[in-house]
Structure 1
Amino acid sequence: MNVEELIRKYNVPAPRYTSYPTVPLWEQDLIREQHWMHIVNRAFEESNQEKGISLYIHLPFCESLCTYCGCNTRITKNHKVEEGYIDAVLAEWRMYLNQWNEKPVIRELHLGGGTPTFFSPSNLQRLIGGLLNGAIVHPAHEFGFEGHPNNTTEEHLQVLYDYGFRRVSFGIQDLDPKVQKAIHRMQPFENVESVTKAARKIGYTSVNFDLIYGLPFQTVDSITNTIDRVGELMPERIAFYSYAHVPWIKPGQRGYSEADLPDNENKRRLYELGKEKLTHLGYTDIGMDHFALPADELFKAAENRTLHRNFMGYTIFNTDLLIGLGTSAISDAKYGYLQNEKVVEKYKEKVLNGQLAIIKSHAMTDEDLLIKRHILSLLCTGEFCFEPDLLSVLEKGALDQFQVMQKEGLITLEGDKLQITQLGKAFIRNIAMLLDLRLKRSKVSAKPVFSKSI
């Protein structure tokens, strides 16, 4: 089979595996608050002193809608919403602090969105100060945030730097004006250049650019120009994502039609071109969608086989306990997951009344933990071993399909070890799906839920 035939075969809806089970396949019976806190406390006791814990804060507000975006956002130009939202996030955090007999050791902290730099520097100062008050910052911590090139100021950068932030991620997507207009994300290269240089001048040691391939009106020329301009700035990390066209979930994507998108083969060419150019610039493919320069900690974690993946994407630490605060934020407490209410008003009402704003949850089974461990190994190291416990639960059809993938050149099988080949990296989501027992047994169709794998 040539590459085009493989793409036609495997370009099917597939999860991105920031968790296992994936969110649509969580058990529907909600974990009660008391049970959730028991799960959290178990993970806290196992992780806090040795590894520390992670915090993800979801800040959903944006002044305008980027139509490619699949995140949970609230579009408004009213900045009065900032203070009340921060009050709610800090109230939610206090519920967790009140559960613990010792101070949490914060190893990772990430501000996502939405647009975190929608918030004023002074309000971000109040938020971070409130989160760290009563906590211990791990000496080997990593704090990062997502910034919009158009509104991230030197004051934003300095305030967060003073709290220990050294990593910033800017959403670039594509620098072609026609593409930017279609996705409603107009940002000249001059803005990207200015904020990148400002971050480095202040002392940020890791700058990430998010790029997307498969956007409306994207061409070989636009990808070439975008990566050439990115090469002038050489961010330490690049996230090169496949555009997820899910208009049934995100109606804003109906602003353009599927006819405006590159077809499957052209989309794949855009990826191969982008990957080739990034490699030529000195970046290494360190995991699904992610590239890094050799001096960056993400590259070093991949080399040291300590890379981890969770709801924040690829990270350099596995803390076992990730607390998500804010609307739609997801917590991973090793033995269970919880997602918050997605509607700002419902979230605020619950947490300000002293209740967790639970909308979805899942308690892990022993089988879930087994499969999660192997999928994480696949996504973070490119390999896993067919341990007896795994073989006892996998269906024969999955094992047969692994044999087919070996013949196709996507993986190698030697003894009890599976390894992804260079060709197979592009099909890693398809390989992971063969381990996904929840998806196989579910009545939920992957088609209307997940974006295509390639």
Structure 2
Amino acid sequence: MDLIQKYNVPGPRYTSYPTVPYWDIETFSVDNWISSFKKSFQESNQQEGISLYIHLPFCESLCTFCGCHKRITKRHEVEEPYVDTLLKEWKLYCDVLGNAPQVKEIHLGGGTPTFFSPENLKKLINGIFKYAVKARHYEFSFEGHPNNTTREHLQTLYDLGFRRVSYGVQDYSLTVQKAINRIQPFENVKRATEEAREIGYTSVSHDLVFGLPFQTLGDVIETINKTIQLMPDRIAFYSYAHVPWMKGNGQRGFSEENLPSGEEKRILYEVGKKLFSELGYVEIGMDHFALKTDSLYKSMENGGLHRNFMGYTASKTQLMIGLGASSISDSWYAFAQNVKGIEEYTHLVNNGILPVYRGHCLNKEDLIIRKHILNLMCRLKTSWKDDKDYFEELPQVLESLEEMKQDGFFIVEDKELKVTDNGRPFIRNICMAFDVLLQRNKPDRELFSMTV
């Protein structure tokens, strides 16, 4: 049987373990979350600092490939009240933590962070550091829309300490752009990329997506050829995640018949991977490529690569606090997600209440499995040589992986599993075998996008 047909099944992207559908929300409480992040802060703040993910949910138009939580509006008067609420939420956390946090990472995501004016972004970041300090080796990044990221945006954020920007490109085909409602000329991306470099940004990333509606092999090759004219430091080459059943999702502007098949998507990926490799990009974990001069590559080489709700990061922090509507926080011992509605989020924060509505406290087994999945996603190998990394269902996991082993996806030697080059495209499938919660209770409804 063709490997793509065989293994193209719904599966998580493993930005967390347990994955959100398997959180034990019944035993979770905000008090548990507060105890968890206080414990993590006390253990890690001085050694490594903390990370902040700040969700800026507004967009002026709806991109129909997007699965993120967003609010479509052209009313920019929403900016300042939202920034005020973010800073109030941050103050709630700082009041609980007591000591001033050392912030190692900030990532502005969305939505469209550059929907916000440079002045309001400056107000936000300065407000964060009213109660915090920058860690010694900090890394601040933001997601920019090439159509509305101005030189003033770039300069303002650079002056505040930002050195990395990620631009959503997707695809340069006008047919594809019309289908996903994201008209974005190459000239806009070129301008935004060159301005970032002129100002001094040390890492510029382009996000490309394969498997979009009406997308052909020629479209992907043309997009990559244009992308390499600019030689971004990083390239995220994502498989389009078709999840139209998710509430608030805009993925309904086209038919599934307009999407490339699983086999066609795999060809798009393999061709893209080959082109990137020929140009000096190295594959990092899953979906990511970087030049050897970029911190993501260096982190992979020294074993420091990490993965969380922000995706791959060049360093790990034990505590990541998510601010804003729908943001997810991670204390390592627990996850917590904010309410998704902007009005409810604002109401709770203005009343001095952390706007968390669900979460999960990790038990001993969760922590062991999480370590294995992180190892696979970041280092393409995992080990159970140490007794503390063994878990009761490991023999069954290895037995369930036997067919993938026969298909050449990995090798097992001396209590260590190492993923092969042939297995890299199927890393999510390998992780799924370790996901004991998924295996014990396989979903009877659509939860995840396809793995290919």
Which TM class, normalised by the smaller chain length?
over 0.9
- In structure 2, what residue type is equivalent to 1:298? L
Alignment of 1:328-367 (within 5 A): 328-367=326-365
1:327 is matched with which residue? 325
Equivalent of 2:135, from 134, 138, 142?
Answer: 138
Aligned pairs, number? 450
1:303 is matched with which residue? 301
1:292-340 CA-partner distances (Å, limit 9, x unpaired): 0000000000011110000010001111000000010000001100000
Alignment of 1:372-451 (within 5 A): 372-387=370-385, 388-394=387-393, 396-442=395-441, 444-445=443-444, 448-451=446-449
- In structure 2, what residue type is equivalent to 1:306? G
Equivalent of 1:95, from 89, 92, 96?
Answer: 92
Per mean C-alpha deviation after superposition, the further-off stretch among 159-168 and 436-445 is 436-445
Q: Determine whether 1:165 maps to 2:162.
A: yes
CA distance in 2, matches of 1:35, 1:27: 12
2:268 is matched with which residue? 270
| C-alpha displacement of 1:254 | 1.7
CA distance in 2, matches of 1:251, 1:108: 28
Instruction: Say if 1:30 and 1:361, in contact at 8 Å, map to a contact too.
Output: no
Instruction: Say if 1:116 and 1:145, in contact at 8 Å, map to a contact too.
Output: yes
2:286 is matched with which residue? 288
2:310 is matched with which residue? 312
CA distance in 2, matches of 1:208, 1:345: 33
| C-alpha displacement of 1:139 | 2.0
Q: Secondary structure at the match of 2:207?
A: strand
Instruction: Say if 1:30 and 1:360, in contact at 8 Å, map to a contact too.
Output: no
The alpha-carbon distance between structure 1 residues 61 and 30, as it changes in their structure 2 partners (threshold 3 A), is farther
1:213-254 CA-partner distances (Å, limit 9, x unpaired): 000011111001000000000000001000011111155222
CA distance in 1, matches of 2:341, 2:27: 18
CA distance in 1, matches of 2:128, 2:229: 36
Q: Determine whether 1:82 maps to 2:75.
A: no
Alignment of 1:61-210 (within 5 A): 61-210=58-207
TM-score of the pair, normalised by structure 1: 0.97
> Is there any run of 5+ residues in structure 2 with no aligned partner, and where?
none
CA distance in 2, matches of 1:395, 1:126: 50
Instruction: Say if 2:377 and 2:427, in contact at 8 Å, map to a contact too.
Output: yes
1:236 is matched with which residue? 233
| C-alpha displacement of 1:443 | 5.5
2:222 is matched with which residue? 225
TM-score of the pair, normalised by structure 2: 0.98
CA distance in 1, matches of 2:363, 2:440: 15
Instruction: Say if 2:52 and 2:107, in contact at 8 Å, map to a contact too.
Output: yes
Q: Secondary structure at the match of 1:99?
A: helix
1:175-210 CA-partner distances (Å, limit 9, x unpaired): 110000000000000000001000000000000100
Q: Secondary structure at the match of 2:97?
A: coil
Instruction: Say if 1:171 and 1:210, in contact at 8 Å, map to a contact too.
Output: yes
RMSD: 1.2
1:74-104 CA-partner distances (Å, limit 9, x unpaired): 0000001011111111010001110123210
Q: Determine whether 1:26 maps to 2:23.
A: yes
1:39 is matched with which residue? 36
Q: Secondary structure at the match of 2:250?
A: helix
Q: Secondary structure at the match of 1:50?
A: helix
| C-alpha displacement of 1:136 | 1.1
- In structure 2, what residue type is equivalent to 1:429? R
- In structure 1, what residue type is equivalent to 2:368? L
| C-alpha displacement of 1:404 | 2.0
- In structure 2, what residue type is equivalent to 1:19? S
CA distance in 2, matches of 1:291, 1:30: 39
> Is there any run of 5+ residues in structure 1 with no aligned partner, and where?
none
| C-alpha displacement of 1:32 | 2.9
CA distance in 1, matches of 2:394, 2:53: 36
Instruction: Say if 2:66 and 2:249, in contact at 8 Å, map to a contact too.
Output: no
Instruction: Say if 1:55 and 1:106, in contact at 8 Å, map to a contact too.
Output: yes
| C-alpha displacement of 1:401 | 2.5
- In structure 1, what residue type is equivalent to 2:68? C
Instruction: Say if 2:9 and 2:451, in contact at 8 Å, map to a contact too.
Output: yes
- In structure 1, what residue type is equivalent to 2:318? D
Greater than 6 Å deviation, 4+ residue runs: none
| C-alpha displacement of 1:165 | 0.1
- In structure 2, what residue type is equivalent to 1:293? L
Alignment of 1:6-25 (within 5 A): 6-25=3-22
- In structure 2, what residue type is equivalent to 1:122? E
1:392-438 CA-partner distances (Å, limit 9, x unpaired): 42254422122222211000111101000001000000000111011
CA distance in 1, matches of 2:388, 2:315: 26
Instruction: Say if 2:140 and 2:161, in contact at 8 Å, map to a contact too.
Output: yes
Instruction: Say if 1:29 and 1:361, in contact at 8 Å, map to a contact too.
Output: no
CA distance in 1, matches of 2:250, 2:23: 26
